[in-house]
Amino acid sequence: MTGGARPRRLAVISVHTSPLAQPGTGDAGGMNVYVWQTAQRLARRGVEVEIFTRATSSADRPVVEAAPGVLVRHIEAGPFDGLDKRDLPGQLCAFSANVLRVEAAQSPGYYDVIHSHYWLSGQVGWLARDRWRVPLVHTAHTLAAVKNASLAGGDTAEPMGRLIGEQQVVAEADRLVANTRTEAAELVDLYGASPAKIDVVPPGADLDAYSPGSRAAARAELGLDPGDTVVTFVGRLQPLKAPDVLLAAMAPLLRADATGTLRLLIVGGPSGTGLEHPAALAELADAMGVADRVTFLPPQPAATLAQVYRASDLVAVPSFSESFGLVAVEAQACGIPVIAADVGGLGVAVRDGVTGRLVDGHDIATWTAELADLLADPARLQRYGAAAVTHAQGYSWEHTTDALLASYGAAMGNFPAGPIRRGVLGRRTRGLLKNRPRMAG
């Protein structure tokens, strides 16, 4: 990846979730954090950033200056509420039309680059790219083909419409930003992407917000016992993130703990298919006889979330699929070791045997054994935690911003001066159609 020109004004498209939303609620998660953190840092580097997202409330102002140099434009597309991510493909026409109207009111050449996040935004970005004649940089964040290959039990496969939509965006984007080399290989192997247009740009952590601190003070703030041993889950409560796997794995340890000091802390709100039964985890804890040893907290803002990490002895990230795993990096930045499933970007975010443990698969007994092994060795947890801080320093949002600017420069430098080449659906897409997953129903 070689840099070139720097954009004056960047159009960021984030259709289904606003960077102003609280991560851990609804569909808001790591992507929100990514968009918000990079937007602020790009603005500090002199790039004007305008973020287009769908309005979800009549109280949303059309334009909000969210930070110096960062505008959030709330675009009307469909009803304000009652829609989730699965309903939004039907609103892309309305969203796209209103995005194009914003640019049409400006002087020609108003935006220099488009950066779309998630496939829904990529569809809008593809249209805007051709109309505005500026390059499109796309970050998938998650890929349907990867998710469908490792579905949680009872979860719903991603539909063929998304698979085809992702294929189209991969074919049309001028640059593709992958979180890890693993994701880059998936784009090539599963979607036929050209390796020459992929930039590997790891996400980061806000190292000012997430840093080591007093465990005693954090527990006092959260109302946790200073003498407890706390294992923590942070994330959206849905099958993909596997909080039920962690709860089932912890249950035998909680029941066997005669001291009464072992506790599981679950921080987050229901999302995705988890919205169908939002009380499922609490009911599972009750059925397993450990409800009194499990504490549930709603999603937390960054300042309080840092205290959640600092209050923990161990953070668990048991997801079935993760493009990177921001929770793992944030926890390590606070000096907390992590046990994580060895999937996707978590193999990069966590250094196995140095800053934590990577677990192969989601077998409950295996997770119970790994957790027991770690919790029985406080000295090892302390060593992992110390190494975790150093490891996390390599994943700052400043590093991410540097790499994004280089990607934007490459996209601008290579953008064709003549007619834009149209991508076509080729053998790769026909293969996706032929081998489409069986839908749950």
List, for residues 248-258, the tens digit of each pLDDT value: 999 999 999 99
Instruction: Indicate the average pLDDT of the chain.
Output: 90
Q: Which pLDDT score, from 0 to 100, does residue 430 have?
A: 47
Q: How many residues does the chain have?
A: 441
Answer yes or no: pTM beyond 0.85.
Answer: yes
Cα–Cα dist 115/136, whole Å: 6
Are 173 and 122 a contacting pair, CB within 8 Å? Answer: yes
Q: Tally Cβ neighbours within 10 Å of residue 189.
A: 11
Predicted confidence band of residue 308 (pLDDT cuts 50, 70, 90): very high
Q: How far is CA 302 from CA 234, 295, 327, 332, 383, in A?
A: 12, 19, 11, 15, 25
Tell me the binding residues for Mg(2+): 309-310, 312
Tell me the binding residues for 1D-myo-inositol 3-phosphate: 16, 27-32, 85, 118, 142, 162
Tell me the binding residues: 16, 22-23, 27-32, 85, 118, 142, 162, 236, 241, 300, 309-310, 312, 322, 330
Tokens representing 195 are: 């390796």
Predicted confidence band of residue 440 (pLDDT cuts 50, 70, 90): very low
Q: Which pLDDT score, from 0 to 100, does residue 86 have?
A: 82
What distance lies between CA 364 and its chain's CA centroid?
25
Instruction: Check whether 93 has a pLDDT greater than 60.
Output: yes
The pLDDT tens digits of the residues spanning 407-421 come to 999 999 999 876 555
Q: DSSP 3-state assignment of 265?
A: strand
Q: DSSP 3-state assignment of 269?
A: coil
Reported as half-sphere exposure (CB side, CA atoms, 13 A), residue 18 has a value of 21
